[in-house]
Amino acid sequence: METLKYVIEDSTIAELLGVQNFSSDESAVLELIKNSYDANAMNVTLHFFEDALEITDDGDGMNSDDIKNHWMHIGKSSKGYSVVDSQDNLRIQAGSKGVGRFALSRLGRKVKLISKKDKEVGVIWETDWNFSTLDEFTEVKEKGTFIRIINLREKWTLNKIKRLTRYLGRTYKDQLMKIRIKANGYDELVKYIFPEPKPGTNCRSNIILEYFDTKLSVKVISDEFSNEAKKYYPDIKYHFRELNMIEELQGNEVIDLSKEELTTKLKELGSFSSNLFFNLTATKTDKEKFLYQYLNIPVEIEKGVILYRNAFSISSLEGEKDWLGFGKRSRKSPAAASHPTGSWRVRENQLSGYVMIDKKENEVLQDLMNRQGIDENIYFKLFVEIILSGIKEFERYRQAVIRCINEKNKDVEEKKDRITDKLIKNPRLIKKLDDNEGNILIEEIKAFQQDKINFQKENTDLVEKHRYDVRILNTLATSGIKATSIAHEINNDRNQMEEVNEFIVKALIKIGLWDQIVSSSEGKPVFENIPALLENSKNAVKKMIHFIDAILEKVEKKQFEVVNLNVKESIDRIIQKWESDFSWLNIETDIDSSMMFRTSKDTLNTIFENLILNSTQQNNDYSDLKICINIKKEGDELIIKYSDKGKGLPKKFLEKPRIILEPHETSRNDGHGLGMWIINNTIKMQNGSVINIDGHNGFLFEFTLKEIK
């Protein structure tokens, strides 16, 4: 048997692995910079000429064996995990694929390479990508590598060279090797773009994420708000929380793994960290309204979040693209931070910074073969979701601060004695205004103009949020319409369904087989016990009939009419149906039988049906679940306390239980996370509020509802 090896033309290799393999000229240059870094160079210089590029480094260099066995061996790399350079610094090597050298082909049609190892003779390698030659070169005295790329494929203008300098500033995150770029009249050292985070100087808040062994620590150091804000929210400078990612990501629709699979992959992912800058530009009105410390931060930071693997960024994830999906998240939930129920999401242009991974520690995060991105496998999806969980924690913290501060604005607006209000009542007063009052009037008009701009923005945000809400409700409504249609069909046959078991028994008695079937079924398992099967079928049909009645009743038009309801009777009707379907439920109430409340039936149904549904789903393995409903009335307001003696909230919600009010927050793989969101929206529409949520030792939910006048 003859063993064969592929034979590929040199020019074809150069075309495939060079010209077509690199997405840009800048990424090709970066690959050559990585080669110098891996060769332990302390300095590398790029010198651009009219039709040539020279790259010179003072690294370890190569000899003829290196050229033959590694440089000319495609897909083979001599690089391991790390090396110690001449200054005793540890360097994590960037290369591993054995194709980076073909970046030369992307840049030019001919290459001359001169290289020398310490105490060895130099070598010269030349190619036009059809033929390559190697010879000794005794003229070079110092170790290192010199590359001259001739007949450049693209014209390198001064603007393009400046863009390259900025690009390398984003993609190279180390100080062990200096990169110098020269051209005609241009001479610059590449500088790393991100300084040390200093809240108040280059960011409003610094967000530090540390992931280790399924746990994510989230630290926020902030200088966004003035000291006056402490009156409304004491912890305005610092926030810390540790998240258990097994609990956080259970039920995540992007991940969709069992708890065991999730735990295993979270451990395999390895540790990583992130350092992020949060910034925004505030108006003078917003500064006063939300007690911001600054209008603008003195030092401006470049936008974008960059993913670094040790010293170098991963191409296509160097901050130019929104690889974490901030834009999509904010469009999906565009509510302002002051919105009482909406979830504020950080905007794409408000975050910058970096995420750090390691070549060995995070080896499951694999580069694509062309080094122009990362394999978006399950580990990468987990990686992104972990980072977004940390961002979400920051968003919740900041929104809590803003909401508390915003409470003062409601009272201020009500107490304001505006000159404009006086003028509306008596326009002639404008002639009697002194200079000071005239200036105040001008400021009020400016404030109105800014309020108009803010209102338009908030209105746009609100429209976007309502569009999303409507999409969710449309989906639920579509399912409901289908269920209603099927319910009508089944309801037409309900008499036959209810009586079919009795007809079977009567028929068997009539032909004299029933007694024999009963006696022969004794002691047999359920699946062979005909009387037991018939009884189970009867109970199942009974539940289906209850379900049909519930579905058909809830879509009746009168459910949405505002009427004066007896609260106890309304709650008792809901409970009666639940207890008839779930014998293990034990629901107690403490409600005055004479209590009346003006609302629509669908309001109470929506709230309590979802609360009881949540209790049954969270505790379906309980043989006896006790639920208590306590309702009192004060003036035109109901004060409602709902609790169950079940297992309580999952751990991920215990510290901050109000998270359950946000859409899609669930810990169940089959859950949609909309029940509590619907409850909260219904409460808000009834001008009520959620007072307290507690998930320890069972579940407690306290809220108010106000009568509709």
Q: Is the pLDDT of residue 25 over 70?
A: yes
Evaluate whether 384 touches 375 at the Cβ level (below 8 Å): no
Mean local confidence (pLDDT), 124-136: 89
What pLDDT score was predicted for residue 505?
Answer: 79
Q: Which residue has the tokens 């036009």?
A: 128
Mean local confidence (pLDDT), 699-704: 95
What pLDDT score was predicted for residue 100?
Answer: 67
Higher pLDDT, 440 or 58: 58
Q: Give pLDDT tens digits for 244-277.
A: 999 889 878 788 888 899 999 999 999 999 999 9
What pLDDT score was predicted for residue 618?
Answer: 84
Q: Is the pLDDT of residue 691 over 80?
A: yes
- pTM for the model stands at 0.71
- DSSP letter, residue 130: S
- CATH code of 10-189, in short, is 3.30.565.10
What pLDDT score was predicted for residue 409?
Answer: 77
What pLDDT score was predicted for residue 671?
Answer: 60
Higher pLDDT, 324 or 436: 324
Mean local confidence (pLDDT), 191-216: 95
Evaluate whether 127 touches 110 at the Cβ level (below 8 Å): yes
Evaluate whether 663 touches 673 at the Cβ level (below 8 Å): yes
Q: Determine which helix (DSSP H) or strand (DSSP E) holds 432, and give its type and residue range.
A: none
Q: Is the pLDDT of residue 147 over 90?
A: yes
| Cα distance between the two ends of the chain | 93
Mean local confidence (pLDDT), 102-125: 91
Higher pLDDT, 47 or 3: 47
Give the rounded percent of residues in the chain with a pLDDT score beyond 90. 43
CA distance 179 to 322: 27
Class of domain 561-709: alpha beta
Spatial CA neighbour of 454 closest among 613, 313, 339: 339
Spatial CA neighbour of 663 closest among 682, 646, 677, 644: 677
Q: Give pLDDT tens digits for 520-558.
A: 878 777 667 788 777 777 777 776 766 666 655 554 555
Spatial CA neighbour of 633 closest among 539, 700, 567, 564: 567
Q: Is the pLDDT of residue 617 over 70?
A: yes
As a residue count, the chain comes to 709
Mean local confidence (pLDDT), 452-463: 59
Lowest mean pLDDT among 41-50, 413-422, 629-638: 413-422
Same fold, 10-189 and 561-709: yes
Question: Domain ranges in the chain?
Answer: 10-189, 205-412, 417-478, 561-709
Distance of CA 60 to the CA centre of its chain: 44
**3-class SS at 317?**
strand
Tokens representing 471 are 């999409």
- Greatest C-alpha distance within the chain: 115
**3-class SS at 529?**
coil
Higher pLDDT, 188 or 335: 188
Mean local confidence (pLDDT), 364-380: 82
What pLDDT score was predicted for residue 47?
Answer: 97
Evaluate whether 239 touches 220 at the Cβ level (below 8 Å): yes
Lowest mean pLDDT among 415-424, 452-461, 515-524, 581-590: 452-461
Average pLDDT in the chain: 83
Q: Which amino acid is at 225?
A: F
The pLDDT-based confidence of 571 (bands split at 50, 70, 90) is very high
Q: Give pLDDT tens digits for 374-431.
A: 888 999 999 999 999 999 999 999 999 999 998 887 655 544 567 777 777 777 777 7
What pLDDT score was predicted for residue 548?
Answer: 66
Lowest mean pLDDT among 122-136, 408-422, 466-480, 671-685: 466-480
Q: Are strands 585-591 and 625-634 parallel, antiparallel or unpaired?
A: parallel
Give the rounded percent of residues in the chain with a pLDDT score beyond 70. 83
Tokens representing 564 are 């004066």
What pLDDT score was predicted for residue 52?
Answer: 95
Spatial CA neighbour of 37 closest among 148, 179, 168: 179
What pLDDT score was predicted for residue 443?
Answer: 73
Higher pLDDT, 23 or 283: 283
Tokens representing 89 are 């610094």
Q: Is the pLDDT of residue 99 over 70?
A: no
What pLDDT score was predicted for residue 223?
Answer: 96
3-state helix, strand, coil in the chain (%, to 5): 45, 25, 35
CA distance 661 to 22: 46
CA distance 687 to 63: 80
Mean local confidence (pLDDT), 498-515: 79
Mean local confidence (pLDDT), 477-498: 60
Spatial CA neighbour of 236 closest among 402, 445, 447, 407: 402
The pLDDT-based confidence of 95 (bands split at 50, 70, 90) is confident
CA distance 268 to 361: 9
What pLDDT score was predicted for residue 14?
Answer: 56
Phi, psi at residue 559, to the nearest 5°?
Answer: -65, -25
b/e string for 429-465 if b means 16 or more Cβ within 10 A? eeeeeeeeeeeebeebeebeeeeeebeeebeebbebb
Mean local confidence (pLDDT), 114-132: 91
Evaluate whether 198 touches 175 at the Cβ level (below 8 Å): no
Q: At a CB cut-off of 8 Å and minimum separation 6, what does 647 contact?
A: 618, 619, 622, 698
What pLDDT score was predicted for residue 80?
Answer: 74
Please give the sequence-ordered ranges of beta strands (E in DSSP) within 569-688, or none if there are none: 585-591, 596-600, 625-634, 637-644
CA distance 491 to 489: 5
**3-class SS at 175?**
coil
The pLDDT-based confidence of 125 (bands split at 50, 70, 90) is very high
Q: Is the pLDDT of residue 298 over 80?
A: yes
What pLDDT score was predicted for residue 321?
Answer: 87
**3-class SS at 389?**
helix
Q: Determine which helix (DSSP H) or strand (DSSP E) holds 282, and give its type and residue range.
A: none
The pLDDT-based confidence of 124 (bands split at 50, 70, 90) is very high
CA distance 602 to 609: 10
As a three-state string, the secondary structure of 95-125 is: CCCCCHHHHHHHHEEEEEEEEECCCCCEEEE
Q: Is the pLDDT of residue 312 over 70?
A: yes
The pLDDT-based confidence of 357 (bands split at 50, 70, 90) is very high
Mean local confidence (pLDDT), 502-525: 80
What pLDDT score was predicted for residue 283?
Answer: 85
Q: How many alpha carbons lie under 13 Å from residue 132 in its C-beta half-sphere?
A: 17
What pLDDT score was predicted for residue 459?
Answer: 59
Spatial CA neighbour of 550 closest among 578, 508, 531: 578
Q: Is the pLDDT of residue 482 over 60?
A: no
CA distance 192 to 425: 61
The pLDDT-based confidence of 684 (bands split at 50, 70, 90) is confident
What pLDDT score was predicted for residue 655?
Answer: 83
Q: Give pLDDT tens digits for 204-236.
A: 999 999 999 999 999 999 999 999 999 999 999
Lowest mean pLDDT among 96-110, 192-206, 432-446, 497-511: 432-446
